[in-house]
Structure 1
């Protein structure tokens, strides 16, 4: 039995030193205290990382098909009236949304930025007492008004009962409304008078667009848009102005829902117009993004990068149309962010590494100081430091 115990003692990889050989020093105490504090700080730092989730990032090929892209926006035009401003969206598939109004709110603002009025669409049509019928004469009791579309009717039964309906009928035909005063509905509603009343006002437009998940553009511009000879043009003659001030503040532009850590580079961007007329262009690369939190909840959204450009031009075609244009394209690569907790085994391994590392470095430092002090003391005793 004693032989077995002796063999076991010989296997001891951690031989002990007799207490008679211990020498406790002041420097050793200081280093021990300092190393203990360092170990505690590193331990609590590692514990905090363990208790909080970490985010893992991956790049994968985006294989989604047939989805919609939601564009959220909030843009302010300090010198462009709401009655003038419109928004269009179109994409490379050929789909077009002209003069979009649904899910969009306009706020009239004065020169100081104060809100005058909030409304869903453009100028609107006031109630007219006893309007004229298409074929003349005032309306009598129970009679129905049916206004003329001034040659833009598609059928004999079609009616244009407001200035806006006449403009929309012209838009479908690809015509421009050059003189609203010759249109009975526009004249009675005071179309030009309302535009003049809003002269000097600004407009805040916010809401969202649902577009196909393909490359395209959306733009804010003055006038009502329509297709003419296969080209996208805006009816600007009706406003009887030679130039439009398109200075704008982008309060928010986002492609999709918010998720933690997202940065939208166009938020709080300001661009001031220095020339009489021009076209502001933003070229945007949209990167599909999926964010999964620690509870497994998933948010499908997008990030984007952007470059800016300004070009001068005359009023007319799309290439020189005054407006603020956002041209977007989609990346074929999707970014995935996944929140997850560090495993306990990983935490334990890091703690052991901290303790072992600090202990080893402290031992080396203590040994260096101890033997250094000892060597200096010995030389002093030999009289070499007189």
Structure 2
């Protein structure tokens, strides 16, 4: 038994030094205390990294098909009334959404930017005060109302019972409504008077669009849009104004849901118009993004980058449409963010590396200071006796 114990002692890789050979110094105590504090701070830092998830980023080709793209927006036009403002969306597949009204809220603002009224954008009901019938007579008691579309009827039994329906019929025909006061429905509803009443006001428009996941654009502009000779045109004659101020502030613009760490570069961006007419354009590159959280849920969203361009009216050229355009295109590369915890073995390895590294460096530093002090002390003694 003693022989086995003796052999085990010979295998000891950590030989012990007799305490008689130890020399405790003030510098050694200071270094020991400092290294202990340093090890504690590094341990706490490593523990925080271990307890919090880390994010791994991966790039893959986007192979998804048939999906839609949700565009969330909140834009303020401080000098463009809500009665003038319209929203259109179209894409390269040929699909168009003109004068979008669903899922959109318009908030009237006074000249100081304070909210006056918020309402869902939609077609208002006409004021029935003996309106003019399609056949030319006035509406009689218990008679069904059927207003004229003033030549824009697509079928013999079509009726236009409000100013908005007349404007919509004109839009489908590709006609401009030059004088709304000549239209009975618009005159009764006070179309031009409402525009005059809102003169000097602003508009905050917010909501979302669901569009095809292909390249396209959406834009905010005054007037109702229509197609004329395959050209996208806005009817501005009805408003009887020479210029429109499209100064704007983008409170929020996002393509898809929010996820941790996302940065939307157009949030809080604003632009002030300095010329009588201008077209402001944003060219956006949308990057599909998947966020996998450490708790197991997945968010399908997007990030984007943007460049800007302003086109102003020049002498000798056609006047540009006063509008704010957002042209977007999809990146073929998808970014995947995956949250995951650091393994305990990795944490333990880092802790051992911290302790060993600090202990080794502290030992070297202590040895250097101890032997340096001995050399200096010895030289001082030699100089004293000489």
For normalisation by structure 1, the TM-score amounts to 0.96
2:193 equivalent in structure 1: 193
* Paired residues for 1:164-175 under 5 Å: 164-175=164-175
| CA deviation vs aligned residue, 1:303-347 (integer Å, no higher than 9, x gap) | 101011100138xx9993210000001111111111111111111
Shift of 1:127: 2.1
What is the alpha-carbon distance in structure 2 between the residues aligned to residue 148 and residue 54 of structure 1?
A: 66
How many residues are matched?
385
2:147 equivalent in structure 1: 147
CA RMSD of aligned residues (A): 1.8
What is the alpha-carbon distance in structure 1 between the residues aligned to residue 135 and residue 59 of structure 2?
A: 67
2:136 equivalent in structure 1: 136
1:89 equivalent in structure 2: 89
Question: Would you identify which runs of 4 or more consecutive aligned residues in structure 1 move more than 6 Å?
Answer: none
2:47 equivalent in structure 1: 47
2:104 equivalent in structure 1: 104
1:178 equivalent in structure 2: 178
| CA deviation vs aligned residue, 1:333-383 (integer Å, no higher than 9, x gap) | 111111111111111011101100100010010000000001101111111
Shift of 1:4: 4.1
Shift of 1:123: 7.6
Asked if the contact 1:255/1:302 (under 8 Å) is kept, the reply is: yes
Shift of 1:5: 3.7
What is the alpha-carbon distance in structure 1 between the residues aligned to residue 223 and residue 122 of structure 2?
A: 11
What is the alpha-carbon distance in structure 2 between the residues aligned to residue 159 and residue 289 of structure 1?
A: 48
What is the alpha-carbon distance in structure 1 between the residues aligned to residue 275 and residue 28 of structure 2?
A: 75
Helix, strand or coil at the partner of 1:303 = strand
What is the alpha-carbon distance in structure 2 between the residues aligned to residue 385 and residue 112 of structure 1?
A: 91
Asked if the contact 1:180/1:191 (under 8 Å) is kept, the reply is: yes
Asked if the contact 1:379/1:385 (under 8 Å) is kept, the reply is: no
What is the alpha-carbon distance in structure 2 between the residues aligned to residue 228 and residue 291 of structure 1?
A: 44
Shift of 1:6: 3.6
What is the alpha-carbon distance in structure 1 between the residues aligned to residue 16 and residue 318 of structure 2?
A: 88
What is the alpha-carbon distance in structure 2 between the residues aligned to residue 232 and residue 54 of structure 1?
A: 49
2:249 equivalent in structure 1: 249
Unaligned runs of 5+ in 1: none
What is the alpha-carbon distance in structure 1 between the residues aligned to residue 229 and residue 385 of structure 2?
A: 103
1:229 equivalent in structure 2: 229
Asked if the contact 1:83/1:122 (under 8 Å) is kept, the reply is: no
Helix, strand or coil at the partner of 1:42 = helix
1:326 equivalent in structure 2: 326
What is the alpha-carbon distance in structure 1 between the residues aligned to residue 28 and residue 311 of structure 2?
A: 73
| CA deviation vs aligned residue, 1:268-311 (integer Å, no higher than 9, x gap) | 00100001001000000101111111111011000101011100
What is the alpha-carbon distance in structure 2 between the residues aligned to residue 129 and residue 279 of structure 1?
A: 41
Segment of structure 1 superposing worse, 151-160 or 47-56: 47-56
What is the alpha-carbon distance in structure 1 between the residues aligned to residue 196 and residue 4 of structure 2?
A: 109
Distance 1:384 1:57, change over 3 A: farther
Shift of 1:126: 4.1
Unaligned runs of 5+ in 2: none
What is the alpha-carbon distance in structure 1 between the residues aligned to residue 129 and residue 184 of structure 2?
A: 14
Shift of 1:14: 1.4
Shift of 1:384: 6.8
Asked if the contact 1:220/1:323 (under 8 Å) is kept, the reply is: yes
Helix, strand or coil at the partner of 1:366 = helix
What is the alpha-carbon distance in structure 1 between the residues aligned to residue 49 and residue 302 of structure 2?
A: 27
